């Protein structure tokens, strides 16, 4: 443990760097894909005095190596100097905490797939144990009145434990996934324990108003909780008319004499960075190579982690019906599916990957010609620069999750098109759908709706396609990742912890 305490401690299960073994040493490098959550969270370190930031994440370490494992290291990179406390977890702890309990019990409930909820294999005691270790590590790094910002459902119990260990901390939580309605959430046998922990926070954040309202409804269903204040949802967040619309959102609840702030503000992407990369000579060359390989065919892209919630199966089935329905498109379109397993060791993701591969094989088997394969499947990580070159050249992007907290891929596609002609087919059940009413909104639970959306995307007049993309590009630029950080800091300020030591405009967002 470092003797030096921190005034801002970020607790997110991913490490804020990529490890590389060089010779007999481990080198810590900045994340290659500088457009995601990690660089954004690290940019917050620029808002506290130099070296007063800390990050707590887990790292798998075998039991025999844990005693000589260097738990806390000092990192110095383009985001400043900060401590990283690495929680050593054994393979079994990782399996039971993350792969089984998080992904096979909590994840299906969070995404309203109750029939996939698996209780029999869950190890809630290990989940508690790991959350306690996270809380201890965060408390050890934090000054007595520091702000500790905890991320995501895997660390649901950390706030409650922190309140026990260091009662005067400022504790904030951000939910990256959906938060379901009470009749789904309350399936969890540990519902009171989870809600009590979240009610120990000073601020609980979500992507969109619907999730914030669901949380307040769950808290009111289970505990003596009263909504302290609600506000009307602004027009930019589609207060009515869409599957996830919400006309009003609570901004605070009261429980046991404490006020708990509630926030709904979606994470943004980094359009400035995307534009900078697209304008490089190397990327221009890549884009030209993609154009040449397409040889006049229209490109449809579908990108997402291999996950039953992502709707890749529904996209593939709709594409198969498109080829059945419209033979004139044969050899004229190509679907590029990018479906990557974010982590191994999870049975249900292995099954999903197998289903994707089987569908791709069947469709290619039915429709391929010597010089045309209908679907190209990528199952590996693609460098971010290459991914946005594909987005740039794609006529259509199909994002059809059955549920998704937000979906940054949709925002990246819009950023890569830069307001020019393109079409975004977007499931109404992604958080970002309420920001993009100009997308071709689809209901992935309906084959007819999916097919109509695919036809609309492919047949749209260029002027309309451009107008829609331009409107969404305006949204992506206005509500970028820097704006999310700035807004979050404004809410932190309300919980009495932070004056803004750095002008938000100078925020290094990713
Ligand atoms: N094959 C891939 N290689 C590299 N990055 C990928 C790949 N597929 C998706 N990504 C990146 O992963 C992130 C996915 O974020 P998001 O759409 O919010 O979904 P989730 O966080 O649920 O995986 C995006 O930033 C996207 O660019
Ligand atoms: O287990 P992970 O970290 O791969 O899961 C990714 C998940 C985190 O819960 O992604 C969520 O966060 C994204 C950024 O906030 C959001 O866009 C996405 O919809 C969520 O699934």
Tens of pLDDT, residue by residue over 344-374, are: 777 778 899 999 999 999 999 999 999 999 9
Evaluate if residue 300 carries a pLDDT over 50: yes
Report the candidate in 391, 400, 508 with the shortest Cα–Cα distance to residue 452.
400
State residue 299's pLDDT score. Answer: 98
Ligand nearest to the CA of 175: 2
Interatomic CA distance for residues 76 and 83, integer angstroms: 9
| pLDDT the model gives residue 349 | 84
**9-54: per-residue pLDDT in tens?**
999 988 888 888 899 888 888 876 555 678 778 888 888 888 899 9
Residue 400 CB–ligand 2 contact under 6 Å: no
pLDDT band at 496 (very low <50, low <70, confident <90, very high): low
Residue pLDDT, tens place only, 78-122: 888 899 999 999 999 999 998 899 999 999 999 999 999 988 889
341 Cβ inside 6 Å of ligand 1? no
Question: 218: which 2 tokens?
Answer: 């769950």
Q: How far apart are CA 410 and CA 395, in angstroms?
A: 14
What distances in angstroms separate CA 156 from CA 87, 126, 149, 195, one per listed residue? 16, 13, 12, 9
Q: Closest residue (by CA) to atom 10 of ligand 1?
A: 304
- Per-residue pLDDT reduced to its tens digit, 242-297: 999 999 999 999 999 999 999 999 999 999 999 999 999 999 999 999 999 999 99
User: Does residue 377 carry a pLDDT above 90?
Assistant: yes
Rg of the chain's alpha carbons, rounded to an integer?
23
Q: Does the CB atom of residue 481 touch ligand 2 within 6 A?
A: no
| 102 Cα nearest atom in ligand 2 | 1
Residue 507 confidence class, pLDDT cut points 50, 70, 90 = very low
Atom 15 of ligand 2, residue of closest alpha carbon:
176
- Rounded distance from Cα 131 to ligand 2 centre (Å): 19
Query: What does the DSSP 8-state code read for residue 96?
Result: I
User: 54 with 141: CB under 8 angstroms?
Assistant: yes
Whether 420 and 469 have beta carbons less than 8 Å apart is answered as: yes
> What is the spatial distance between Cα 171 and Cα 495, in angstroms, rounded to a whole number?
9
Please tell me if the CB atom of residue 177 comes closer than 6 angstroms to any atom of ligand 2. yes
Provide CB contacts within 8 A for 266, sequence distance 6+.
Answer: 207, 208, 406, 431, 432, 435, 479, 484
Name the residue at shortest CA distance from atom 26 of ligand 1: 409
Mean pLDDT of all residues in the chain?
Answer: 92
Is ligand 2 within 6 A of the CB of residue 307?
Answer: no
502 has pLDDT over 60: no
Rounded to an integer, what distance in angstroms lies between the CA atom of residue 349 and that of residue 485? 32
User: CA-CA distances (angstroms) from residue 106 to 2, 112, 124?
Assistant: 33, 10, 11
pLDDT for 120-161, tens place per residue? 889 999 999 999 999 999 999 999 999 999 999 999 999 999
pLDDT band at 164 (very low <50, low <70, confident <90, very high): very high
Q: What is the dihedral of CA 91, 94, 99, 103, to 10 degrees?
A: 180
Q: Which residues face 89 on adjacent strands?
A: 60
Strands 396-399 and 6-11, by their bridges, are unpaired
In angstroms, what is the span from residue 305 Cα to ligand 1's centroid?
6
pLDDT digits (tens, 9 = 90+) for 188-202: 999 999 999 999 999
Q: Binning pLDDT at 50, 70 and 90, where does residue 505 land?
A: very low
| Closest ligand 2 atom to Cα of 177 | 20
Q: Are 28 and 73 in contact (CB under 8 A)?
A: yes
Neighbours of 439 (CB within 10 A): 27
- pLDDT of residue 508 exceeding 60, the answer is no
Angle at 269 between CA 146 and CA 55, to 5 degrees: 25
CB atoms within 10 A of CB 55: 27
The structure's pTM equals: 0.94
For residues 216-241, b (16+ Cβ closer than 10 Å) or e, as one string? bbbbbebeebebbebeebeeebbbee
Global ipTM: 0.96
- Which ligand has the nearest atom to the CA of 32? 1
Closest ligand relative to 154 C-alpha: 2
- How many A from CA of 306 to the centre of ligand 2? 12
- Residue 331, SS3? coil
Ligand 2 atom having least distance to the Cα of 152: 9
Ligand 1 atom with the shortest distance to the CA of 340 = 1
Q: Which two tokens stand for residue 425?
A: 């087919």
Query: Which helix (H) or strand (E) covers residue 133, if one does?
Result: helix 124-141
Take residue 385 and report the two structure tokens written for it: 């620069």
Atom of ligand 2 nearest to the CA of 37: 14
Calculate how far, in angstroms, residue 459's C-alpha sits from the geometric centre of ligand 2.
32
Q: Higher model confidence: residue 497 or residue 467?
A: 467
């Amino acid at each position: 443990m470092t003797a030096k305490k921190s005034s801002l401690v970020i607790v997110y299960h991913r490490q804020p760097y990529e490890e590389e073994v060089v010779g007999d040493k481990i080198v810590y490098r900045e994340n290659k894909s500088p457009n995601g959550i990690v660089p954004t969270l690290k940019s917050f370190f620029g808002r506290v005095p130099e070296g007063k930031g800390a990050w707590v994440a887990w790292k798998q370490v075998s039991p025999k190596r844990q005693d000589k494992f260097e738990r806390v290291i000092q990192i110095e990179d383009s985001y400043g100097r900060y401590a990283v406390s690495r929680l050593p977890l054994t393979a079994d702890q990782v399996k039971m905490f993350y792969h089984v309990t998080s992904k096979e019990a909590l994840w299906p409930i969070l995404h309203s797939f109750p029939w996939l909820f698996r209780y029999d294999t869950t190890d809630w005691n290990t989940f508690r144990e790991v959350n306690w270790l996270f809380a201890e590590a965060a408390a050890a790094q934090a000054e007595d009145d520091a702000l500790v910002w905890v991320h995501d459902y895997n660390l649901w119990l950390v706030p409650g434990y922190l309140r026990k260990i260091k009662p005067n901390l400022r504790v904030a939580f951000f939910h990256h996934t959906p938060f379901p309605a009470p009749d789904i959430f309350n399936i969890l046998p540990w519902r009171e324990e989870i809600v009590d922990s979240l009610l120990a926070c000073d601020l609980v954040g979500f992507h969109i108003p619907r999730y914030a309202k669901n949380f307040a409804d769950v808290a009111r269903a289970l505990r003596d909780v009263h909504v302290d204040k609600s506000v009307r949802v602004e027009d930019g967040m589609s207060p009515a008319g869409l599957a996830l619309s919400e006309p009003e959102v609570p901004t605070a609840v009261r429980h046991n004499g404490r006020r708990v702030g509630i926030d709904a503000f979606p994470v943004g992407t980094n359009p400035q960075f995307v534009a900078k990369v697209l304008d490089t000579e190397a990327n221009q060359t890549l884009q030209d190579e993609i154009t040449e390989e397409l040889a006049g065919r229209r490109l449809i892209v579908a990108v997402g982690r291999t996950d039953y919630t992502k709707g890749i199966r529904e996209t593939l089935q709709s594409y198969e019906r498109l080829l059945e329905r419209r033979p004139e498109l044969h050899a004229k379109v190509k679907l590029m599916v990018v479906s990557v397993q974010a982590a191994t060791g999870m049975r249900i993701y292995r099954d999903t990957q197998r289903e994707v591969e089987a569908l791709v094989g069947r469709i290619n088997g039915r429709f391929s010609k010597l010089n045309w394969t209908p679907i190209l499947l990528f199952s590996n990580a693609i460098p971010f620069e290459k991914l946005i070159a594909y987005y740039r050249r794609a006529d259509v992007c199909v994002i059809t999750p059955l549920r998704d907290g937000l979906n940054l891929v949709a925002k990246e596609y819009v950023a890569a098109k830069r307001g020019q002609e393109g079409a975004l087919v977007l499931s109404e059940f992604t958080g970002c759908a309420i920001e993009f009413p100009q997308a071709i909104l689809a209901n992935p639970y309906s084959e007819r709706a999916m097919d109509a959306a695919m036809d609309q995307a492919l047949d749209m007049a260029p002027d309309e396609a451009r107008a829609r993309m331009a409107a969404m590009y305006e949204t992506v630029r206005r509500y970028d990742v820097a704006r999310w950080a700035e807004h979050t800091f404004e809410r932190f300020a309300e919980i009495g912890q932070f004056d803004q030591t750095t002008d938000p405009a100078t925020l290094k967002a990713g």
